[in-house]
Structure formats: C-alpha cells, structure tokens
A and B are shown apart, each in its own frame.
Chain A
Amino acid sequence: MFEISPAEWTAILLSLRVAVIATLVATPFGIALAWLLARRDFWGKSVLDALVHLPLVLPPVVTGYLLLLTFGRRGLVGGFLADYLGIVFAFRWTGAALACGVMAFPLLVRPMRLSIEAIDRRLEQAAETLGAAPWKVFFTVTLPLALPGVLAGMVLGFAKAIGEFGATITFVSNIPGETQTISSAIYSLIQTPDGDAAAGRLVIVSIVLAIGALIAAEWFARRATQRLHGN
C-alpha cells in the first residue's frame, strides 16, 4: 500500500537536494551573521536584525516575487550572474535552493546567535591571555562551544527549507523534475482527481522529516548545555 512511485521519489530527492544545498550554503553566512549580532554593536544593527527576520513575517509569495525581481533573468543581480558567471536561478532547482535558503535563514541564525550569546566571554579572554589571536580564539573556543547551537540551527533551517512552498513556487514555479519539491508536488496532487493516495504518501514523508528534524534539534540543544557545563 505504501509504495512510493518514481515521480514521488523525484520530488522527494529534489526536496532533499534543495534543502541540503540551501542549508550548507546558508550556514557560513548564518554563523558570521549570528556572531555579528551577538557580539558587535554597529550602526544599523537593528535594521540588519529586522531584515534577517523579514522572510519570517513577510507573506512567502512576496518574498518569492522579490526574489524573482532580483534574481530573475532580467533582475538586477540575476542578469549579472547569468551574463558573467553563467549562474541561473530562475526556473531552476538552484533557484528553489535560493528561495528555501532565504526563507530558512531566520530559523537557522537564531539558535546560532543564542548559543554564541550564551558563551562565557571570560573563556575567550583566557584564551587570549594564553596567546591566541582573535581568529584563533574564534575557531578554538567560540565555534566549538557554539557547535551544538550551530547544528541545531542547521537542522531547523533544513526542516524549514524542505517544507518551503510559497516563495519557491512563486520564484521558480512547479516543474516536475526541476523545481517540483515535495510541497509543490502535494499541491499539484490534491488538485488532480486521483491524486489523494499519492498526496497522502508525500504528506507522511513530510511529517516524518519534520519530526525527525525537531528531535535532532532538541538533542543538539541538550548536548549544548552539557558541553557548557564541561561534562
């Protein structure tokens, strides 16, 4: 009864690829931004903070449309990338990854920022007195101590990315095999007369992935507390 068809597999694998790439590319930016927001005071910080959270509160269709305007073939950035670097986002799976990355970014950054804020800065001072330059302090003390939060952010971001729908379908449409993720496949299936069973199977896959991600994030959070207490 629970037999996943090749077409469904295509959507599942595409979703996984899109979410994995989106998460991996977003992570270094997420860490840098989390550090900046946790540790630095600068002009325009609250504006930057609001900007990062914007995809969380904006209607996804608006985010998708803005992405289309910016990264579409005739968009300001998209045109440049296509002409000079040969990178095309519009109606490609890469565009889906971009949309998912942007939508997942606020969720990805938040646990990272919290875990960096929770680090005892006196430990970083101690590292400095032992001869560690600031970038060494970051990689030997700050980042390892923040690692559980970084992983938790990656898991949450991944879970958001794999379920993203509104911005993706607006930006890159719903092309089977290229931009049709699990969510857009479900959307198509429930509009077809006999699609209920297939949609049901993809719904179950989505639920399993989401719950798995939440459990993983919880586990990382618990590891974080243990780590900070030195056990």
Chain B
Amino acid sequence: MLRVDVEKQLGEFSLSASFSSEGRVIGLFGASGAGKSSLVNMIAGLLRPDRGTIAIDGEIVDDTAAGIHVPTYRRRIGYVFQDARLFPHLSVAQNLDYGRRMNGLAPDPAQHKRIIDLLDIGALRDRRPGKLSGGERQRVALGRALLSKPRLLLLDEPLGALDEGRKLEILPYLVRLRDEANVPMVYVSHDVAELRQLATQIVMLKQGRVTSFGGVKVLT
C-alpha cells in the first residue's frame, strides 16, 4: 500500500525513514520534532525528498534517482490537517464538494450520503466554517478529504487542536471511518492512547529515524 524510503535535510534536522506497510491504519508515532509532519508532507508531495522513493498503491510518486515527483494535486490523496483548513469563503456544502469538482468526478450521491451520515455533518451543510466549533470543523475536514475519493488518507494530528472532551467526541467517528470507509490511512500522533484505539500498525519515529515498526504492541 505505502512504501517510503526517503532522506531529507531540513536545516540542522535530518530525516531518514524507511518502511513499507499494507496496514489499514499506519500510526506514525513520535514526540514533536521527531519529523512526523515532514514525513507526511513528503508522502503528500508538499515536501520533496532529497533522496529516495515513495510509492502509493503501487504507483511511484517520488523517485529522486529517476527524477520523478508527482505533484500533490495528482497524487489522489486526502489530507486532514490539525487546523482543519476549511475554505472560509465557501459554505460547508461547497467545502465538501470541492475535491469532487477539482478532480472532475461525477456526483456520487450514495457515497456522499454515506460519508455525511457517518460523520454526522448533514445539519451543518449551509453554515460557514467560521460558525463551526472545533470538533465540527474537523469532521467537515474529514468529510471533505474523503469525498475527493483518495486512495490514501493522511491525518496529521487531527485531534491535536481539540480539548479532551472534543477528542472523545471525534474519536468514535475515526474508528467508524477505519472500519467502514475502506480507505487506508496514515495517522500521525504523539498520543499513545489514540493510536492504540485506531492504528493497526505503528511506525515509531525518534529524531528523524524509524526506531521501531510493527503492531500496536510496540507502543509500550
């Protein structure tokens, strides 16, 4: 599903990570500054590796030796950021529809309804992002990413900006997503409890290096 073997120098910090996974939810675990976000940004194509390869679903999207770098918008990934990043000038409904329109996909009412119901965001459709709570925003961001029909969903600390109560409110949606949405995910977090609940495989990062890789039990 996902194969990563990259090196990147970011100022003083050097990142060198290699792993390959067929897991449904790859949990990328590490303290802040361990290089998790940089790694995810490379998978997304927002950051270009200095050396190495990245393959998503068998397609090579980065290969520095062969000079391949597929731009972000052609990678068919979904990305949920810590800060939601909904478009403030569009309504919730327009935000949700954005990826479908940009990819020129035909409307898929069945999928649309399934995801809206799964995330419980039907009632928010006509609202503006500025009028949503943090938790609602994050659910809409999830829906927006999923509705672009990605082959891989990247989640970079999607609960990081929420307080404890809100986290518990969103977590069940993520579990349902994992079990029902059928999209493989890379889930970035520094929270052991979160990853225990969600991840099927763990990549542990420490100061830019992969220190362990395996099942959830590596989270001791």
A145-B89 in contact given A130-B102, A136-B102, A230-B128 (Cβ < 8 Å): yes
Interchain Cβ contacts within 8 Å, total number: 74
Within 8 A of B (CB), among A95-144: 120, 122-123, 125-134, 136, 140-141, 144
A127 to B72, CA, bound (A): 10
Main secondary structure, interface of A, reads helix
Chain B residues positioned under 8 Å from A125 (CB to CB)? 46, 72, 85
A230-B88 in contact given A128-B72, A129-B78, A131-B103 (Cβ < 8 Å): yes
> Chain B 119-142, CB within 8 Å of chain A: the 1/0 string?
000000000111100000000000
A227 to B145, CA, bound (A): 23
A127 to chain B: closest CB distance in Å?
7
A227 touches B89 (CB 8 A): yes
- Counting contact residues on chain B (CB < 8 A from A), the size range is 20 to 34
Closest-by-CB residue of B relative to A228 is B88
A27 to B5, CA, bound (A): 47
A126-B85 in contact given A131-B99, A132-B102, A136-B102 (Cβ < 8 Å): yes
Chain B residues positioned under 8 Å from A131 (CB to CB)? 73-74, 76, 99, 102-103, 148
A129-B88 in contact given A122-B83, A230-B128, A231-B128 (Cβ < 8 Å): no
A143 to chain B: closest CB distance in Å?
10
B77 touches A230 (CB 8 A): no
Closest-by-CB residue of A relative to B144 is A130
Chain A residues positioned under 8 Å from B81 (CB to CB)? 122, 126
- Counting contact residues on chain A (CB < 8 A from B), the size range is 20 to 34
Chain B residues positioned under 8 Å from A140 (CB to CB)? 98, 102
A222 to chain B: closest CB distance in Å?
15
Contact of A145 among B44, B76, B78, B88 (CB under 8 A): B88
- Cβ of B187 within 8 Å of any chain A Cβ, yes or no, is no
A123 touches B78 (CB 8 A): no
B85 touches A128 (CB 8 A): no
B87 touches A127 (CB 8 A): yes
- Cβ of A229 within 8 Å of any chain B Cβ, yes or no, is yes
Interface residues of A (CB under 8 A from B): 120, 122-123, 125-134, 136, 140-141, 144-145, 227-231
Q: Could you jot down 6 A-B contacts, CB within 8 Å?
A: A123-B88, A128-B73, A129-B72, A227-B89, A230-B88, A230-B128
